[in-house]
Amino acid sequence: MPSAKYLIIGSSHAGLCALDAIRLQDTEGSVTLITRDESLPYSPTILPYVVSGDADPEKIFLRDQKAMDHLNVTFLKGETVTTVDTKAHSVRLSSGESLSYEKLLLATGATPVLPPVTGLEDEPHHVLRTLDDAMKLRTALENKHTALVVGAGLIGMHAAENLAKIGVDVTIVEALPHVLPDYFDEDGASLIQQAFSDKGIKMHLGCTMKQVARSNGAQLVTLNSGETISSDLVLVATGVRPSIDYLSEADIEVDQGILVDDRMRTSADGVWAAGDVVQAPGFFDSEKRLNGTLPDASEQGRIAGMDMVGDSALKPYKGGIGMNTYKFFGHRAFSIGLIKEANTGSDGREEDRVSAPDLEEDRVFSPASQRYQKLVFQDDRLVGALSINTDLDPGVMFEVIRRRIDLKDMKAQFVDHPQETGRILMTKVWR
Amino acid sequence: MGKGYPTIAFYPEKCNGCNDCVEACAQIKTETSEPVHSRISVAKDPDDEFYGLSLCRQCGDPRCVMDCPARALTKNEDTGVVHWDETKCVNCQICTLACPYAGITYNRITDQVMKCDLCNGDPACVKACAPMALEYKIGAEIYNTWGDLEDLFVPGVGACLGCNSELIMRHTLRRIGPNTVVATPPGCIPGVGSVGVNGITSTKTPVFHPLLTNTASMLAGVKRYYNRIGRDVTMLALAGDGGAADVGFQSLSGAAERGEQMIFVCVDNEGYMNTGVQRSSTTPYGAWTTTTPVGEALQGKTRDAKPLPLLMVLHSCEYVATAALPFMEDFYMKLDKAIEASKRGMAFIHIFSPCPTGWRFDPSQLIEVARKGVETNMVPLWEYENDLGRINITHVVNEPLPVVTYLKSIGKYRHLSDEQLVYIQRKTDERFELLKKFTKESKLEGLSDAA
Ligand SMILES: Cc1cc2nc3c(=O)[nH]c(=O)nc-3n(C[C@H](O)[C@H](O)[C@H](O)COP(=O)(O)OP(=O)(O)OC[C@H]3O[C@@H](n4cnc5c(N)ncnc54)[C@H](O)[C@@H]3O)c2cc1C
């Protein structure tokens, strides 16, 4: 049986960052990297741009074969891991072959989940997670005029915008009352929704899809409100779940995802996991949860790699923080940390306020200029930052949160001039 | 072997907020002076006049590169520049979330991100910065230059945890090279293993173990022999403060006066550390040692340290320098000069060498302690070149820290009374003033003033 000192399953952000961290310390130990994709490594985040044509599918790869050779890595494409045997320290591949490992990293990411909708499984529909999905969607769009996007999370919104940009008539259906519920509060979402409807995108918020059927070559979707929408194509983006099917018989603790500690170690000896596939400690409390963002996947991958190779510079994982940048129709937004927990809303609404009465917020909301800034504090520490069309630096805000910087008497200044004060703080912490 | 890359260093204390860098950047990148196009920006803290810099640090392990889903950001392995490829960028802005320094920022006019590319190695902002708060610098340059040379000291030696002498040994030998005869008189360095453990030496050059008293005279003899047979071999002494300033002094002084060709390195850990921490003539005033105890009668050493490097200047050595390892570039520069000077006569380097074991501080703090020694002016870094005839301070400390910040970090000074602290501060200032007298232009004027 072929063997590898380091075996990495999954060649996306988490897997590649682990690979780099390992090679920084151990240039000799054998590494095998496996992906079930038929292509070189790429990021799922790029896919909406592949669909729209903004990104050339030939030029999206995160590494080429030369880079793999340079790092002395055995790269296996188009191979799916079907089982893991933690006692024998081996994995089995779809080709029937087995591979043994000394140290194993599971970085298999996430897979789309389909909502329970009558007819959905039998009707042609699209999802967007792999390059294959993107190419299928791209081809399907030729000579199609209308598309229905189900789910207004980041994936759905990115896809909807990019479809609209190539002239497709897009409708979005979202079960919650506003778009991007994971990242924006109602006021923030209202600005985004405005921009989308200005571009002619129709949104059915607070609605779910009940049934899908075929009628006259188009697909007829019925919503829970009774409304029906006819569309040439349906894209389902209602969420993802960790890809852990291959672990059903393995002796590794899983909940919704693979459970890991702050060094990305799983319950099994010699097995690490990182990225969208894990359920890791949170930043604001230690409860383990799914996070599913790209920066988190690379951070976790790097930590896993450092721990696998025994890098003494490793600093344990500080915990997942929900965050993202979001660019839409020429606007620029981001959201980091506890954004919705302290929502008073523009008219004093408190419906979003969750179990965190000690949070304090500072808001500047100006819908006329499509700008919104919200800073959330707990004592004298920043715990959340949201911006739409302001000059704030997301990376600086993230670091101020991540380092739990006690602003003390700088807090007033921070509230008045968050961009400058944040930048000054970062100059001070840099050595 | 790895590589050090260029970056732009920022000294906030020198910045006056003039924004000339911002204008220069906008000019060179877009031929406008619109700050919105500048890749560098300066934020001002209204309270304490502190300036913050936003600029790409060209990180060694850049997060923006790690997090780019389009591979539009890459670190160029030759130049070290973090390169942004506009044709691949999909404008997702994730890089702006990855950078804690606002080194890659959004430009609302172009609706794209932008970042510094170091202007092909000749950055406009640095040239425009009159107060010199920006400096174009190659990180770890000595590593690029010397990193591939062989370490002439074996791994796994018997040094205490956090030993400064081991570092000195490795760096000095690496730079000076194998064509060297090394003399290591009794002290920590032979203790660490220079002359052997169980009959095998740890030094990959010829090495011998003279007496404490005769290191310089033995090296002088060996050198004269090689000169006679026409071989150009470097002589190197690695001696402690005992072997240089105390009982070793007469042979050192004699060799210096005769102009014997050698590099004599004094590893000054301010006492006899390997025999159980006894005082030496370089132990500073107030320091605890086992022979200058702290109790009812005594509060550490009652006499001042002998200023050995200055005494060596007065011997008209070809080259004299002080060094400390947190300032590696400075140290390597001095080794270079010492090698040249030793072809003509005596080159003497006095290395400040804090000792975690004998001085009582945490081994992890070695470099920090040594840095504070320099930054309080207790250990000024300087060099003397005989043909110039004056001292040159090689690392100017603009605002020296009070000596307590250094003394407080070391166990052997823990007992010091306020009066003793005042005395040490005064003595440090006086010695520094004396040193400055030697920096005068004219050789005669400087020396006669001082003497
Ligand atoms: C359309 C879209 C847009 C997105 N936009 C953003 C965004 O704007 N910001 C953001 O932060 N995040 C975004 N994300 C999420 C982001 O892409 C993920 O968080 C990130 O890719 C997670 O990386 P990962 O390495 O954990 O897993 P993945 O990227 O999911 O990669 C998993 C890897 O594992 C392999 N694999 C899986 N199972 C097996 C198996 N059994 N055998 C062998 N190989 C296997 C796959 O082939 C793949 O190589 C987006 C995602 C999508 C789909």
B41-97 per-position pLDDT tens digit: 999 887 767 899 999 999 988 999 999 999 999 999 889 999 999 999 999 999 999
For residue A37, the ligand 1 atom closest to its alpha carbon is: 47
Token couple for A412: 């007033």
Q: Note whether A102 and A133 are same-domain residues.
A: no
Residues A83, A249: contact at Cβ < 8 Å? Answer: yes
Token couple for B14: 């020198």
Residues A77, A40: contact at Cβ < 8 Å? Answer: yes
Q: Is A311 on the interface with B (CB under 8 A)?
A: no
Residues A144, A170: contact at Cβ < 8 Å? Answer: no
Token couple for A366: 């100006």
Largest CA distance in chain A: 67
Residues A282, A320: contact at Cβ < 8 Å? Answer: yes
Q: Note whether B68 and B101 are same-domain residues.
A: yes
Burial of B385 from C-beta contacts in 10 A (0-12 / 13-18 / 19+): middle
How many CB atoms sit inside 10 A of residue B122's CB? 10
**A12 Cα: distance to centroid of ligand 1 (angstroms):** 6
Q: What is the pLDDT of residues A282-339, one digit of tens each?
A: 999 888 999 899 999 999 999 999 999 999 889 999 999 999 999 999 999 999 999 8
Minimal Cβ distance to A399: which of B50, B69, B100: B100
Q: How many CA atoms lie within 13 A of B132 on its CB side?
A: 1
In a domain, A315, yes or no: no
In a domain, A395, yes or no: yes
In a domain, B107, yes or no: yes
Give the pLDDT confidence score for residue B441 in this predicted structure.
60
Q: Note whether B219 and B301 are same-domain residues.
A: yes
A340 pLDDT band, cuts 50/70/90, is: confident
Give the pLDDT confidence score for residue A285 in this predicted structure.
86
Integer CA distances (angstroms), B431 to B306, B378, B426, B435, in order: 11, 9, 9, 6
Q: Note whether B74 and B194 are same-domain residues.
A: no
**DSSP code at position B150:** P
Give the pLDDT confidence score for residue A357 in this predicted structure.
64
Percentage of chain A surpassing pLDDT 70? Answer: 96
Q: What is the mean pLDDT of residues B156-166?
A: 91
Considering only A101-105, A360-364, B305-309, B372-376, which range has the smallest mean pLDDT? A360-364
Token couple for A334: 């981001």
Token couple for A65: 């074969």
Q: Do A424 and B63 touch (CB under 8 A)?
A: no
Pairing status of strand A98-106 against strand A271-273? parallel
In a domain, A127, yes or no: yes
Q: Do B97 and A59 touch (CB under 8 A)?
A: no
Asked which of B98, B119, B142 is the last residue of a domain, the reply is B142
Q: How many domains does chain A have?
A: 3
Q: Note whether A233 and A247 are same-domain residues.
A: no
Single-letter code of the amino acid located at B201: T
Burial of A119 from C-beta contacts in 10 A (0-12 / 13-18 / 19+): middle
Q: Note whether A157 and A261 are same-domain residues.
A: no
Domain containing residue B357: CATH number: 3.40.50.970
In a domain, B1, yes or no: no
A142 pLDDT band, cuts 50/70/90, is: confident
d(Cα B199, Cα A310) in Å, to the nearest integer? Answer: 35
Token couple for A71: 């790092």
Whether A81 lines ligand 1, by a CB cut-off of 6 Å, is yes
Token couple for B289: 């040692």
Percentage of chain B surpassing pLDDT 90? Answer: 83
Q: Note whether B183 and B122 are same-domain residues.
A: no
pLDDT higher than threshold 80 for residue A197: yes
Token couple for A157: 């919104």
Q: What is the pLDDT of residues B321-341, one digit of tens each?
A: 999 999 998 999 999 999 999
Residues in B closer than 8 angstroms to A421, CB to CB, are 43, 45
Q: What is the mean pLDDT of residues B10-29?
A: 93
Q: How many CA atoms lie within 13 A of A344 on its CB side?
A: 14
Q: Note whether A50 and A154 are same-domain residues.
A: no
Q: Note whether A213 and A280 are same-domain residues.
A: no
Q: Note whether A276 and A349 are same-domain residues.
A: no
Residues B400, B350: contact at Cβ < 8 Å? Answer: no
- To the nearest whole angstrom, how far is the Cα of B99 from the nearest Cα of chain A? 5
In a domain, B443, yes or no: yes
pLDDT higher than threshold 60 for residue B442: no
Residues B267, B240: contact at Cβ < 8 Å? Answer: yes
Residues B134, B8: contact at Cβ < 8 Å? Answer: yes
Q: How many domains does chain B have?
A: 2
Q: Note whether B260 and B200 are same-domain residues.
A: yes
- By CA distance, what is A154's nearest residue in B? B92
**DSSP code at position B305:** P
Integer CA distances (angstroms), B236 to A33, A209, B201, B208, B263, in order: 51, 84, 16, 11, 5
Domain containing residue A271: CATH number: 3.50.50.60
d(Cα A407, Cα A377) in Å, to the nearest integer? Answer: 10
Q: What is the mean pLDDT of residues B345-360?
A: 98
Minimal Cβ distance to A332: which of B45, B88, B93: B93
Give the pLDDT confidence score for residue B444 in this predicted structure.
46
Q: Note whether A81 and A185 are same-domain residues.
A: no
A344 pLDDT band, cuts 50/70/90, is: low
- To the nearest whole angstrom, how far is the Cα of A34 from the nearest Cα of chain B? 19
Residues in A closer than 8 angstroms to B50, CB to CB, are 424, 427-428
Token couple for A416: 């008045």
Q: Note whether B110 and B166 are same-domain residues.
A: no
d(Cα A125, Cα B293) in Å, to the nearest integer? Answer: 85
Q: Is A415 on the interface with B (CB under 8 A)?
A: no
Single-letter code of the amino acid located at B117: D
- What is the average pLDDT value for chain A, to the nearest integer? 92
pLDDT higher than threshold 60 for residue A352: no
**DSSP code at position A145:** -
Residues B265, B238: contact at Cβ < 8 Å? Answer: yes
| Closest C-alpha residue for ligand 1 atom 20 | A294
In a domain, B419, yes or no: yes
Integer CA distances (angstroms), B99 to A60, A358, A388, in order: 22, 29, 19
B122 pLDDT band, cuts 50/70/90, is: very high
Q: Do A59 and B53 touch (CB under 8 A)?
A: no
Pairing status of strand B73-75 against strand B82-84? antiparallel
Residues A20, A105: contact at Cβ < 8 Å? Answer: no
Q: What is the pLDDT of residues A226-260, one digit of tens each?
A: 999 999 999 999 999 999 999 999 999 999 999 99
Domain containing residue B112: CATH number: 3.30.70.20
In a domain, B325, yes or no: yes
Q: What is the pLDDT of residues B213-272, one digit of tens each?
A: 999 999 999 999 999 999 999 999 999 999 999 999 999 999 999 999 999 999 999 999
The sheet with strand A169-174 has its strands ordered as A202-205, A169-174, A146-150, A233-236
Q: Do A49 and B10 touch (CB under 8 A)?
A: no
Q: Phi first, then psi: what are they for A201, rounded to 5°?
A: -85, 130
* Full domain range(s) for residue A331: 323-430
d(Cα B38, Cα B44) in Å, to the nearest integer? Answer: 16
Asked which of A221, A238, A255 is the last residue of a domain, the reply is A238
B437 pLDDT band, cuts 50/70/90, is: very high
**A45 Cα: distance to centroid of ligand 1 (angstroms):** 7
Token couple for B48: 């304490």
pLDDT higher than threshold 70 for residue B174: yes
Q: Is B106 on the interface with A (CB under 8 A)?
A: yes
In a domain, A316, yes or no: no
**DSSP code at position A319:** -
- By CA distance, what is A391's nearest residue in B? B106
Residues in B closer than 8 angstroms to A24, CB to CB, are 61
Asked which of A249, A279, A309 is the last residue of a domain, the reply is A309
Choose from A427, A430, A431 for mutation: most chain B CBs within 10 A.
A427
Q: How many CB pairs under 8 A join A and B?
A: 123
How many CB atoms sit inside 10 A of residue B189's CB? 30
Asked which of A219, A238, A257 is the last residue of a domain, the reply is A238
How many CB atoms sit inside 10 A of residue B112's CB? 13
In a domain, B384, yes or no: yes
Q: Note whether B134 and B227 are same-domain residues.
A: no
Q: What is the DSSP string of A365-410?
A: EEGGGTEEEEEEEETTEEEEEEEESS---HHHHHHHHHTT---GGG
Whether A153 lines ligand 1, by a CB cut-off of 6 Å, is no
Q: Note whether B126 and B62 are same-domain residues.
A: yes
- To the nearest whole angstrom, how far is the Cα of A343 from the nearest Cα of chain B? 23
Q: Do B102 and A13 touch (CB under 8 A)?
A: no
Give the pLDDT confidence score for residue B148 in this predicted structure.
81
Give the pLDDT confidence score for residue B447 in this predicted structure.
53
In a domain, B404, yes or no: yes
Give the pLDDT confidence score for residue A349 in this predicted structure.
44
Residues in A closer than 8 angstroms to B67, CB to CB, are 13, 294-295, 298
Whether A154 lines ligand 1, by a CB cut-off of 6 Å, is yes
pTM: 0.80
Q: Which of residues 39-78 of B touch A (CB under 8 A)?
A: 41, 43-47, 50-54, 57, 61, 63, 66-67, 69-71
Q: Note whether A287 and A343 are same-domain residues.
A: no
Q: Note whether A194 and A52 are same-domain residues.
A: no
Q: Is B88 on the interface with A (CB under 8 A)?
A: yes
In chain A, count of helices (H) and strands (E)?
Answer: 10, 24
Residues B379, B330: contact at Cβ < 8 Å? Answer: no
CA A301 to chain centre: 14
Q: Note whether A105 and A245 are same-domain residues.
A: yes
Q: Note whether A133 and A174 are same-domain residues.
A: yes
In a domain, A125, yes or no: yes
Integer CA distances (angstroms), B12 to A47, A220, A425, B50, B235, in order: 42, 64, 12, 7, 44
| Closest C-alpha residue for ligand 1 atom 6 | A45
Q: Do B100 and A332 touch (CB under 8 A)?
A: no
How many CB atoms sit inside 10 A of residue B276's CB? 11
pLDDT higher than threshold 80 for residue A24: yes
Q: What is the mean pLDDT of residues B339-367?
A: 97
pLDDT higher than threshold 70 for residue A343: no
Residues B42, B52: contact at Cβ < 8 Å? Answer: yes
Q: Note whether B307 and B399 are same-domain residues.
A: yes
* Full domain range(s) for residue B135: 7-142
In a domain, A166, yes or no: yes
Q: What is the pLDDT of residues B286-295, one digit of tens each?
A: 999 999 999 9
d(Cα B407, Cα A293) in Å, to the nearest integer? Answer: 48
Q: Where are the alpha helices (DSSP H) in B31-157?
A: 63-67, 94-98, 124-128, 141-146
A356 pLDDT band, cuts 50/70/90, is: low
Whether A300 lines ligand 1, by a CB cut-off of 6 Å, is no
Considering only A18-22, A50-54, B343-347, which range has the smallest mean pLDDT? A50-54
CA B253 to chain centre: 26
**DSSP code at position A245:** G
Question: Long-range contacts: A285-290, Cβ < 8 Å, 24+?
Answer: A286/A319, A288/A255, A288/A259, A288/A260, A289/A320, A290/A242, A290/A256, A290/A257
Q: Which residues of B3-40 are buried (b: 16+ CB within 10 A; e: fewer)?
A: ebbbbbebebeebeeebbbbbbbbbbbbeeeeebbbbb
In a domain, B2, yes or no: no
Q: Note whether A220 and A252 are same-domain residues.
A: no
Q: What is the DSSP string of B188-238?
A: HHHHHTTT-BTTB-SBSS-EE---SS-HHHHHHHHHHHHHHHT---EEEEE
Q: Note whether B135 and B173 are same-domain residues.
A: no
Q: Which residues of B170-184 are buried (b: 16+ CB within 10 A; e: fewer)?
A: bbbbbbbeeebbbbb
Q: Is B298 on the interface with A (CB under 8 A)?
A: no
- By CA distance, what is A419's nearest residue in B? B43
- Reported as type and span, the H/E element at residue A47 is helix A47-52
Q: B305 has which bridge partners? A: none
Q: Which of residues 29-88 of A touch B (CB under 8 A)?
A: 43-46, 49, 54-55, 59-62
In a domain, A318, yes or no: no
Give the pLDDT confidence score for residue B2 in this predicted structure.
60
Whether A302 lines ligand 1, by a CB cut-off of 6 Å, is no
Residues B142, B332: contact at Cβ < 8 Å? Answer: yes
How many CB atoms sit inside 10 A of residue A78's CB? 12
Q: Note whether B33 and B109 are same-domain residues.
A: yes
A431 pLDDT band, cuts 50/70/90, is: low
Asked which of B88, B114, B142 is the last residue of a domain, the reply is B142
